[in-house]
Amino acid sequence: MNPHESGRRFGIRDGLFQAVAQGGGEQYLSAFALLLHATPFQLSILSAIPQLLGTWAQLVSVKVSHWFPSRATQVFWGIIGQSVAWIPILVLPLLWPHQGPWLLIAAVAVYFTFTHFTSPAWNSLITDLLEPNERGMYFARRSRAIAITSFVALGLAGVLLSFFEERQLLWVGFAIMFFTAGLCRSASALLLRNVRGLPEHNPGSNPTGFLVFLRTGMSENFRHFLLFSGLMHAAALVAGPFFVIYLLQDLHLAHWQYGTWLAAGIIGQFLTFPAWGHFGDRFGNKALLTFTGLLVSFLPMLYLCGTTWPFLVTVNFFGGVVWAGLGLGLNNYVFDAVQPTDRAKAVAVSSVVNAIGWTMGTIIGSWLIGTVPANLQVGALTLDPPSNLPFIFFLSGLLRLIVSATLLRTFHEPRQVEQRAHHRLLWELPLLKPLRQLSRRATSANQ
């Protein structure tokens, strides 16, 4: 057996327990905030501040990594912190409901601080177990397992909330969900204690030299990639925190309908993660970012085109398809663009840049809510959606398109990969490639 196989299996199993915490916990934090009567501004803060504070924890994580006897130990205590953090997330807002939204924001900030504290050591550890040309498929397989597990957790959580909502005991449903999420993170920690044969970490001659890394460890290629990644996060988060308001308050969807909308995105990810991983391994993560960076621009614009529940679910399904590829490309490009000894630093720096973009986007989005009109008339055409949020979603898509059109050409693929013209690569994309193969078979059968 491969000596690293135990660690690889842990990476998959940890993803399964993490998926339960995500699908049955993190995905419903905004809905829990609405139960506590959170304002749009507080929802934007809930989305931005915990991520920003948590991401700075990655810098601290790399700085103090030498305090721990191994990366596995550092990951273990980070996971334990995530598990315990679910207690104040639930308890504090219920004990002091008048300050509930702000207490929730503070508790969620602690949770994401532990999550991000774990990230550099976890990514560095798992990446050392993989060959460069198999990372895409491994992380795609792990992401696919996370997607299906998160989908099941998401659906069960939606049913659970609807059950208790009918009995006017919605907080009981949230209590069960958050308690389960905490237990699952504890299970990950127990699994890690049983893993053997993990590689020793060689941090190099300068294990904590962030300033040196920022000055000399980053190529111009990587700097341009960071700019693209940060601004893409900013453009996306102009809309991101406010879908829950639009669906639950403006369109008055039931919690099970909202859960199904979320689940559609997860199904889109589940169906296409392996294909995106294979695409990135074969043609490079830059090509992956090029296609998905352009496609993701048009998704939020579609919310101006209809309000029916089946239409919204369909849009989010394709959103899951595209974001699966974009997320894989953004993560795996970091691993390829720096030296192995700098990967933990690169992950931390990338996360900080993304969190700054995340914060900028949510602040801009919350400002636009009070600025953008609720209807628009262009000549004889009048657009009168249920609120001004579809216009904000459209602006988010426009900003994504500007970022992709201007910055994708400024950085390049760091690996040696198979070269192919973009118009030929188009037929290698998930969903399109199976259709092309089916068309060829049908043509061959008719001849």
Q: Assess if residue 201 is contained within a domain.
A: no
| C-alpha to C-alpha distance for 270 and 197, rounded to whole angstroms | 30
Residue 375 C-beta-side C-alpha neighbours within 13 Å: 6
| C-alpha to C-alpha distance for 297 and 396, rounded to whole angstroms | 8
Q: How confident is the model at residue 73 (pLDDT cuts 50, 70, 90)?
A: confident
Find tokens 């991520």 and name the residue.
51
Q: Which residues contact 205 (CB under 8 A, 6 or more apart)?
A: none
Angle at 102 between CA 117 and CA 247, to 5 degrees: 95
> Residue 205 has what pLDDT?
45
Q: What is the mean pLDDT of residues 112-125?
A: 83
Phi/psi of residue 226, nearest 5 degrees: -60, -40
**Of residues 386 and 48, more confidently modeled:** 386
Dig out the tokens for 413 from the structure: 């693929």
Angle at 11 between CA 10 and CA 17, to 5 degrees: 85
pTM metric for this prediction: 0.70
> Residue 438 has what pLDDT?
45
Q: What is the mean pLDDT of residues 75-101?
A: 89
Q: Assess if residue 392 is contained within a domain.
A: yes
| C-alpha to C-alpha distance for 411 and 330, rounded to whole angstroms | 13
- Over 50: is that where the pLDDT of 439 sits? no
Q: Assess if residue 205 is contained within a domain.
A: no
128 burial (CB, 10 Å; 0-12 / 13-18 / 19+) is: middle
| C-alpha to C-alpha distance for 86 and 26, rounded to whole angstroms | 10
**Lowest-confidence range among 150-154, 207-211, 329-333?**
207-211
- Over 90: is that where the pLDDT of 302 sits? yes
Q: Are 46 and 62 in contact (CB under 8 A)?
A: no
Number of domains in the chain: 1
> Residue 102 has what pLDDT?
93
Q: Assess if residue 252 is contained within a domain.
A: yes
* CATH code of the domain covering residue 262: 1.20.1250.20
Q: How confident is the model at residue 75 (pLDDT cuts 50, 70, 90)?
A: confident
User: 326-336 burial, b for 16+ CB within 10 Å, e for fewer?
Assistant: bbbbbbbbbbb
Residue 319 C-beta-side C-alpha neighbours within 13 Å: 23
Q: Are 36 and 100 in contact (CB under 8 A)?
A: yes
Q: Assess if residue 132 is contained within a domain.
A: yes
Q: Assess if residue 53 is contained within a domain.
A: yes
Q: Are 320 and 273 in contact (CB under 8 A)?
A: no
The SS3 call for residue 381 is strand
Q: Containing domain of residue 163, as a range? A: 5-194+214-430
Q: Are 347 and 123 in contact (CB under 8 A)?
A: yes
> Residue 280 has what pLDDT?
87
Q: What is the mean pLDDT of residues 158-175?
A: 86
- Per the prediction, the chain carries an average pLDDT of 83
- Over 80: is that where the pLDDT of 5 sits? no
> Residue 440 has what pLDDT?
52
The residue type at 435: L
pLDDT digits (tens, 9 = 90+) for 179-232: 999 999 888 888 887 776 665 555 544 444 556 666 666 788 889 999 999 999
Q: Assess if residue 200 is contained within a domain.
A: no
| C-alpha to C-alpha distance for 271 and 294, rounded to whole angstroms | 20
Q: Assess if residue 359 is contained within a domain.
A: yes
- Over 90: is that where the pLDDT of 399 sits? yes
